[in-house]
Every structure is written in C-alpha cells, then in structure tokens.
Structure 1
C-alpha cells in the first residue's frame, strides 16, 4: 500500500513546476490575484492606505491563495502537512511586516528591497530568540523560492527586448559573458568554493537578486550562502545608485551611454530605474532596455549552469572518476528551470499583450511574495555566526573586484555601442 502511494509522490522540482503553472493558468483563466498596497510615506498614509480594512482583506485573500498552495505542495511531497498548517501563517505574518517596512517611501528611495527586510526579520528572531522546532520543521525554503522562480518566467518577455533594438541585447551578451567568467576566475584564484563562486558570478553579471536565486536553485545551493550573496548585491547597489549618475555627468557622457552603463552595471532592476531617473528620460529608457536584456539571459544562463553543475558535481559515490550519463543528468537536472523557461516562452509568444497587461501586476506581486516568504524562512533557520564566518571576507573581495571590473568593462562597451 505504501509503495503504491509513493509512486504518485512528485519530486520537489516537478512539484514547483506543477503549482507554479497552476497559479499562472488560473491567472490566465481569469482568477484575479489580489495585489495589496504596501506603499506609504508617513504614519497617516500608513493607516489611510496600508492598514485599511479593504487592504487588510486583500492581504488576507492573498494569504489564502499561497497558504492553499503551500499545504497542497506539502501534501504532494509527502511532508508534514500539520507543520505547514501551523507554521506557514507565522512566516506569512512576519513577511507581511517586512513588505510594509519595504513599502516606506524613504526606504524605497534607497532601493532596500523586501527580501532584505524579510531576511533581516528572520535573522533577528533566530539569533535573539528561540525558534521552536515545530516552526523550523515547517519551513520549506527551496519550495518557496522555486515557485517564485517559475512565476518570474512570466515577466521575461523576449518580444519587449527585440522591439527595443539589438544594441541592448548585444551589450547584455558581452557584459554577462565577460563579467561572469572574470568573476568566476577571481573567485577560484582566491580559493572561494565553486558553489559560492557560481552564485557570486551570476549575481554580479546578470541581474542581481533574481540571478542569485535562480542560480542557487539550479545548483541546489546552500541557502546561507545565497543570503550572503543577496546581502552583498543589495548593499552595493545603494552607493552605485547615488554616485554613478554624478560620475557620468563628470565624464560628460551622453544620456544614451550613461543609461547603457547604468543598466549593464547596477545589479537590480529597481536600482537601475532609480539611478536612470536621476539622469533623464533617455537614460532611463536605455538603462531599462539593457537591464531587461540581461534579465532575458537569466533563463539561458540558469539552464547552462544546471547542465554544467549536474555534469561536474553529481558523480557517482562509488565510481568517482566516471562522469554521469545523460539519463543521470536528466534525473538530477533541476526541473524548475524548465518551468521558468516554459513560462517565459508562453508569455513571450502565445499570450496576447492585452492579457499580459491584465495579469502581470498580480503575478509580479505573487512572485515577489514567494521570494519574501523564502527569505523570512532562510532568516529563521540561519545564525549570524554561520552567515558571517571567518571565511566571509573572500566572497566579499570577489564581489567587489568583479563589480569594479563590471563598471569599467561595461562603460567601454556602452561607449562603443551607444556613443
């Protein structure tokens, strides 16, 4: 009886594809995904916009959707459903608090994204309070991250990039390839382990937080290393937003070159938009195009990294010298990458632009929520001593060196293509 039951148990990667696409299909069929308001400037706006009865009802409606998916996924994977029923609401409440904090106008201007708040809240609780075992056992970080990644695929629209022109895509290809390999080379020279090296290289060369999360999923990376990389990305973005526009003006760069430089160098889309806005409309447009072009490469990069990692790091325990066969590679290949690419292709070539405009707001809100929930979970199971240990300086040096290289090589490429 138990053998028959296990036949129907999906792996975690196929489970996230199934439930990620369930959300996408329901949205396309007309399910209105609740999109709560979290933006506020002062205490009066907090109570007038965020903590209103209607907005709290919307937040609750969104909770019901993700709660149901989390319970169904736990059931599908054969996990402790009761633990999920008890623990998930607590993670959701903490994450909602993080989203409210991130919605503050002052903090938004510094581009402090919700994931840094959700991670910080989880870390504070885990390091200064005792997290009960039943709550720890309910945490499903990988599941939450990967469902968010499948939904993220719906925002990577190839048509937008093609319409915007080829120069942005050419620059994106040149920057991603050169910066990724340089960063990886530096990491290996400094003795950083390959898992961390790949996450760092993807974050600094492609699109920051999303790239780090996708790469970690592709190589089944350590969540503590992932939180370290994301902290570096978000903290480094702040001075770059402020100083790069001034440096561009001091160098007398055109808005086109400045926009291409900002879009190819700054690691998060929100930070790119914030920095481009400081320069002008043309710079904002070009910087957004370049950043979107890099985002499009995320799925292809995750796919290539998955193949590389599966082939080189999943050798048989008994036959260390033997490389895995194609069958073993397929068995161990992270299937969520297929879900990500499938969602991107679906929205790029088979869904009308009118439909995309109708559903993209809700899907983006939901995707961001899954990521925030995942980082609350990471924080709850992480100690500061694990996150910032004695070896923590080497990845920091790699990131700073790679980002410096990124600044100079991207400026040269942007000048050649856009001047």
Structure 2
C-alpha cells in the first residue's frame, strides 16, 4: 500500500485542528493540569496529585499522537527522535505552567506562553540546546494548529453584539498602522520580507499575523522567529503598564478597553490587561482584538495577492490565480472555517460546552510553540540581526500604534 501523498504543513495543521474539534465535540476532552500554589509544600502536593499527573500524561499522548500523524502525512518518519525531543519541550512547558500558577504571579495576569518563551530563551542562551531536542522543534506547526483552534473562540455574534464601533476602530487602526510600519521599515533599509512581517505583526494581531504573512510570502523562518520574539518581549511591558496608565489618565472603560485591544499584540495579554480594568473594559478589549483577528484572513489574501504581482523574480511567470492560491496560508482558511462553524452552524449548547476545552488545547499548543521559539532564539540574534534595525522598527512602530490607537479609541468611543 502506497503512503498518502505528502501534504503541506498548512493543510496538516488544519486536519489536526479539525480532528481535535471533532474529538472534543464527541466527548474526548483533555484538560490542562490545575495548579495554584504559594509555598513549596502546596506545589509538591499538586505536582504529585494523581489527577494532575493523568492530565499531563494525557496531553503528552495527545500531542505525540498528533505529531506522529503529522509526520505520516508529511512522509517524514522519525518517531524515536520525535519522542525524545517532545518529552523535553513538554516538561519545559509544564514548568512554565507551574510558575504562572503561583498565586502572586496570577494576580499580575502573566501568561504561560510568556514563561514558556523565557524558559526556552534561558536554555538556549545560557545552557545550550541539545541536538536531540531539535526534531521536535515544530514551531510553525504548533502555532498553526493553535491558530485554527483560536477560530473556535472568534464568534461573529459576540463581535456584532458590541456594535459596529469596535470593527470601525479595528479597520482604521490596522490599515493606518500597517502602512506607517511598512514605510518606517523601508526608511530603515529592511528587506521586503521583514517589512511585511513586522507591519502585519504590529498592526493586526501579533504572532498570528506574522505567521500568516510569512506563509503568504513564503518568508524566511529565521526572520519569522525573530519577529515573534519581538512581539512577545514588547508585549510584556505593555501588558503590565498600560492598564495603570489608563487608570491614571481617567479613561472610560470603553476607551481603555479599546486602546488595550487595539495595541497589545497577543490575545492572552489583552485579556490579562483588560481584567485589571474590570469587566466593561475587558469586554471592549476582547471585542476589538477579536475584530482584528477576523481581519487576519482578509489581510492574508491581500498580502498574497500583492506579493504575487509585485515581488516577481526575473523570468518569473505572470502570476495566476493558482499562484495566489499556492501562496495563500491555508491554515487561515481553517481559522475562518472554525469561526464560521462555531458562529453559525453548531448549536449554542454545543458551542458553550466545548469552547472551554478547545481554549485549553489552544493554550497548550501555543505554550509548546513559544517554548520552541525560545529554544531557537538567542539574544545575540534579537539585538544584532540587521544591526538591530528590525527591533528598532518594531519598537517605533508599536509606539506609533499606541498613540494612534488611543486617539481613534477616544474619537470612536467617547
């Protein structure tokens, strides 16, 4: 029997994500271990708890099974090497979850993906990455699966219920900030790939947009990892300080929430920052961020169209619809399909029952992905690549985003 034809990684991510959705709807719902501690004794008791050990083991087997299927579809069979590396990545991600479950850190709203990244960076920069871990460093696959699952939580009804104002703000901010960042990167002499990825990351929705843009332009993976690291590092001070600035400035909950949702680049960080300001601010922050997530599919299509027609090499054939289709990141279609499925097709009781478990699985895939990003990144690369110009461009563009979004939020929600 002949093995199936090799599939593109985007399609593999979509298949795995929808297989996950189907299994969760059918009743198979693995959950993250539950930890909450303030002392070493509490921590050890919860680590050794049988229920938590079973949950951790089930998630490991879930991911291992998913990756073995991914390797089969890609016709790349290295199960032994995959197993050794995955054990390490899962343990690092579990350690990140243990850290964020500390009661004092919980009050700050810090995310597991942040500590997954930081632990990975520590190992990569201080200890060194063992070669046997590398086969399991499937960063883009992990993120793409998580992004398709993210679509299950982007419900069009929730966005429309909050009114047209959040969508108007999102459109204004995304297009203005994108073009400013694109111009700024050009002024700093960055190449076209960096310009596209940084512009999308700053203006749309951070990591998700960077991945989608890289897929649309067939970008360099090293540049993509660089941009993702910048997104996460810059999001930390924004998440911590922007809520307090909003309080100090006396912003209304609607303005403050719209400001946070339009500027902070990761959905989890948006929720953490919005929670500090209360339920009303969190509502508007979430709606604006989800509105930007919805724009991801449109942006990916426009970027693939632009790249196909304007970035032709010498002797490159005239772009066709097939060219655009080949460049379009297919996992974005999965994201949109999942959103439409949960918005308009599935019964409300089913959606309510499975959104939580799917959100946890999405978080787990993202945690694994950010562990990999940290393991693949060195601080020397972050601050020395292109003489630090990508980092400078990202920071300046994010500052512009902060001030411009604040002005738009005041105009729209005042």
Q: TM-score surpassing 0.5?
A: yes
Q: Deviations over 1:245-278 (max 9, x none)?
A: 4444554433332332232223333333343344
1:377-396 equivalences in 2 (<5 Å): 377-396=372-391
Deviation at 1:338, TM superposition (A): 1.6
Confirm whether residue 206 of structure 1 aligns to residue 204 of structure 2: yes
Equivalent runs, 1:222-233 vs 2, <5 Å: 222-233=220-231
* CA RMSD between the two structures: 2.7
Give the distance between the partners of 1:304 and 1:165, measured in 2 at CA: 26
1:71 aligns with 2:71: no
Aligned-pair CA distance for 1:120: 3.1
The Cα of 1:111 is off from its aligned counterpart by 4.5
In 1, distance between residues paired with 2:107 and 2:228? 19
From the superposition, tell whether residues 253 and 89 of structure 1 become closer, same or farther in structure 2 (CA, over 3 Å): closer
Q: Structure 1: how far apart are the matches of 2:35 and 2:218?
A: 32
Q: Distance in 2 between matches of 1:382 and 1:250?
A: 36
Within the candidate set 296, 301, 319, 1:324 is matched to 319
- 1:330-354 CA-partner distances (Å, limit 9, x unpaired): 2343222221211111111111222
After superposition, the Cα gap between the structure-2 partners of 1:263 and 1:225, relative to the gap in structure 1 and judged at 3 Å, is same
Write the distance in 2 (CA, Å) between the matches of 1:47 and 1:71: 32
The reply on whether 1:347 has 2:345 as its aligned counterpart is no
More displaced, 354-363 or 324-333?
324-333
Alignment of 1:3-402 (within 5 A): 5=3, 8-82=5-79, 83-129=81-127, 131-313=129-311, 315=312, 319-320=315-316, 322-402=317-397
CA contact (8 A) 1:199 1:212 kept: yes
Give the whole-Å Cα distance in 2 for the aligned partners of 1:43 and 1:18. Answer: 41
Distance across 2 between alignment mates of 1:382 and 1:192: 20
Q: Say if 1:241 and 1:19 are closer, same or farther in 2 by CA, change over 3 A.
A: closer
Post-superposition offset of 1:167: 0.9
Structure 2 unmatched ranges of 5 or more: none
* Residues 1:248 and 1:333: Cα distance change in structure 2 (over 3 Å): closer
Q: Provide Cα deviations, 1:221-240, integer angstroms capped at 9, x if missing partner.
A: 44443343333333333433
User: What is the deviation of 1:48?
Assistant: 4.2
Give the distance between the partners of 2:232 and 2:8, measured in 1 at CA: 32
Structure 2 CA distance, aligned partners of 1:152 and 1:347? 11
- Tell me the secondary structure at the aligned position of residue 192 of structure 1: coil
5+ residue gaps, structure 1, are: none
Q: Distance in 2 between matches of 1:68 and 1:180?
A: 39
The alpha carbon displacement at 1:23 in A equals 0.9
- TM-superposed CA distance for 1:403, in Å, is 1.9
| Deviations, residues 373-416 of structure 1 (Å, cap 9, x unaligned) | 22323333444433432525212222222222222222222222
Separation in 1 of the partners of 2:323 and 2:216? 15
SS across alignment from 1:160:
helix
Distance 1:105 1:222 in 2: 40
Q: TM-score, normalised by structure 2?
A: 0.89
Q: In structure 2, do the counterparts of structure 1 residues 368 and 220 end up closer, same or farther at CA, with 3 Å as the change threshold?
A: farther
- Tell me, in whole angstroms, the C-alpha distance in 2 between the residues paired with 1:233 and 1:51: 35
Per the alignment, do residues 185 and 349 of structure 1 end up closer, same or farther by CA in structure 2, a change over 3 Å counting?
A: same
Is the CA contact (8 Å cut-off) linking 1:187 and 1:398 kept in structure 2? yes
1:161 deviates by 0.2
Q: Is the 8 A contact 2:212 2:329 kept in 1?
A: no
